[in-house]
Chain A
């Protein structure tokens, strides 16, 4: 079991739906990350929150909207997604932006 918890584990949604992915860590880490991973590819960085402020947005389409309500929680709000957005979405956290990142097991997202 990892110390970064992601919910839900699986999500199927239509292109007009709105849903949210959630990530939680209780290790006192101050940096949190969203990654997208397609099959047989490495994780691709989407967003970085450092001390609860968005510090990196890797030119991600606006249909993905991150939110960091507090230092333990990270959300990814989804709206009007496309079939090519189907992937494994990974959350990670680290003690600070330069420390090793620890990953959750991801949310497997399928867009119909």
Chain B
């Protein structure tokens, strides 16, 4: 069974304090690993897809990386508007996405 574990569950940062979120996964035949951002009362917003170990993607202050067992979402010099819950999901041999429980990020000014 495909599984995704995200850590930490919650993270508080000061504005400008860089950090990383972790997503560990087990999946038979990884077809893609996805990062989403979700604001309260909204649907998840797609950020990145990673397909193979060694791949990296960047968008503004966010950078996602992938190994054979885990993915990291690096946040450089975060701003308060980066506060959200970040969800990681994997897709294996079926059309089904398996989500982790998310990391709630709070960035204080």
- Name the B residues within 8 Å of A105 (CB-CB): 41-43
Closest to B89 in A: A42
- Name the B residues within 8 Å of A98 (CB-CB): 31-32, 91, 95
Closest to A9 in B: B41
Interface contact B49-A103, CB-CB below 8 Å: no
Closest to B48 in A: A100
Interface contact A103-B45, CB-CB below 8 Å: yes
B99 interface residue, CB < 8 Å from A? yes
Closest to B100 in A: A42
Q: Looking at chain A, what size class is its interface with the partner chain?
A: 20 to 34
State how many angstroms separate the Cβ of B8 from the closest Cβ of chain A.
15
The verdict on A56 contacting B94 (CB below 8 Å), with A42-B100, A42-B102, A98-B31 known, is yes
- Name the A residues within 8 Å of B89 (CB-CB): 42
The verdict on A50 contacting B95 (CB below 8 Å), with A100-B34, A100-B49 known, is yes
Q: Which listed residue, A56, A58, A102, touches B46 by the CB 8 Å rule?
A: A102
Q: Which listed residue, B31, B49, B97, touches A45 by the CB 8 Å rule?
A: B97
- Name the B residues within 8 Å of A45 (CB-CB): 96-97
Q: Which of B20-67 contact A (CB under 8 A)?
A: 31-32, 34, 36, 41-46, 49
Instruction: A90 to B36: give the CA distance in the assembly, Å.
Output: 14
Q: List 16 other contacts, CB 8 Å, given A2-B43, A58-B96, A105-B43.
A: A42-B87, A42-B89, A42-B99, A48-B96, A55-B95, A90-B43, A92-B43, A97-B95, A98-B32, A100-B34, A100-B46, A101-B34, A103-B45, A106-B42, A106-B43, A108-B41
The 6 closest A-B pairs by CB, nearest first: A103-B43, A42-B99, A97-B95, A105-B43, A103-B44, A105-B42
- B-side residues, CB < 8 A to A, are 31-32, 34, 36, 41-46, 49, 87, 89, 91, 94-97, 99-102
- A-side residues, CB < 8 A to B, are 2, 4, 31, 41-43, 45, 48, 50, 55-56, 58, 90, 92, 97-98, 100-106, 108
